[in-house]
Amino acid sequence: MSATYNSVYPPEEDLIMNQQQLKQQIRQLAEERNALLMAHFYQRDEIQEIAHVAGDSLAMAMEAARTERQVIVLCGVHFMAESAAILAPEKTVLLPRPDAGCPMADMVTADQLRAMKARLPGRPVVSYVNTSAAVKAESDICCTSANAVRVVNSLAEDEVILVPDRNLGRYIAAHTDKKCHFWEGYCPFHDQLPEEDVLAAKEAHPDALFLAHPECRPQILRMADHVASTSGMIDFVRNSPVRKFILGTEMGILYRLRKENPDKEFILPNSLLRCPTMKDITLEDVLRSLETLAPRIVVPEDVARRARVALDRMLAVPRD
């Protein structure tokens, strides 16, 4: 007897029902556990949908520092959960997939940064939050793509060390009078966006504005109508009368943009703008994490204490 497709694959309605049940279970268990569900804008749609708070790196760090909930389930990548654990040491911070890392954050180690500091003494180190806790502990202040220029300009020194993103570094350098020393790290997904793909999208959609994340290469940023972090892009689209946007960032952002702006159109220049580790966490992982209160992210006390100084200094920089 030949098997029908239905005997192999559950029908689509069953999958949808399954997802609905999972979402309900997660929300209920989150209340029982007094847990806050946080998701980065690059997470899978269904993860952003169940989150109490969806945000960029800066918003998630700030929310971790202020939440009264006892448990934080951080749906993002490892450095984001570490930041939450550092800022909320009395809380239980869970990363449903502890192997979800950021390749750019892995491009600089604390030893390498110590060697760079020895070569360039007296220059403060500004580390992008996309770094390990150990690298933050070696830094003077942190920044995110939303506040990087403000953070650098808030420093008294005329020269700074910027790690690890060379593209964000060059973007900062173009917006400050300070001399910037870069580390040659990069985001493999933003860095690979080709000019030709942006040009083709612009030609196909001459009425669209092109928004680019500062992790893109300078050649791409020069083609942009607006350069912004993920939350900066969301604010820009919300307040713009324009109805079409080409996005130079990770595709997960489409969920939030489409939800908030059903009447606007969003175009990705290619299908390679996908960060695989940002898609690791599934609804099943979140549920399991809430059930078991694991995997918990704990930063060693000495590292956490020093990294916290750098994060707190960033959070103290006045907003525009």
| Binding positions for ligand 13P, rule: CB under 6 A | 41, 56-57, 130, 144-146, 187, 215, 229-230
**DSSP single-letter state for residue 43:** S
Site string for ligand SF4, 64-83 (x = CB under 6 A): -------------x------
The SS3 call for residue 256 is: helix
DSSP H helices, the chain, are 5-8, 12-32, 45-50, 57-66, 78-87, 110-119, 133-137, 148-153, 166-173, 195-204, 218-222, 230-239, 253-260, 283-292, 301-316
Site string for ligand SF4, 270-309 (x = CB under 6 A): -----x--x-------------------------------
- Geometric angle at alpha carbon 172, from 114 and 86, rounded to 5°: 50
Nearer to ligand SF4, 104 or 209 (CB): 104
- Least Å from the CB of residue 122 to ligand 13P: 29
* CA 130 – CA 151 distance, rounded (Å): 15
Nearer to ligand SF4, 230 or 289 (CB): 230
56 binds, among ligand SF4, ligand 13P, none (CB under 5 to 8 A by kind): ligand 13P
- Which residues in the 199-228 window bind ligand SF4 by CB under 6 A? 215
Output the smallest distance, CB 21 to ligand SF4, in A: 30
Q: CB–CB of 235/319 below 8 Å?
A: no
Nearer to ligand SF4, 135 or 287 (CB): 135
DSSP type of residue 188: T
How would you class 118 by CB atoms within 10 Å of its CB: exposed for 0-12, middle for 13-18, buried for 19 or more? exposed
Site string for ligand SF4, 87-116 (x = CB under 6 A): ---------------xxx------------
Residues at the contact surface with ligand SF4, assessed by CB under 6 A: 77, 102-104, 130, 187, 189-190, 215, 250, 275, 278
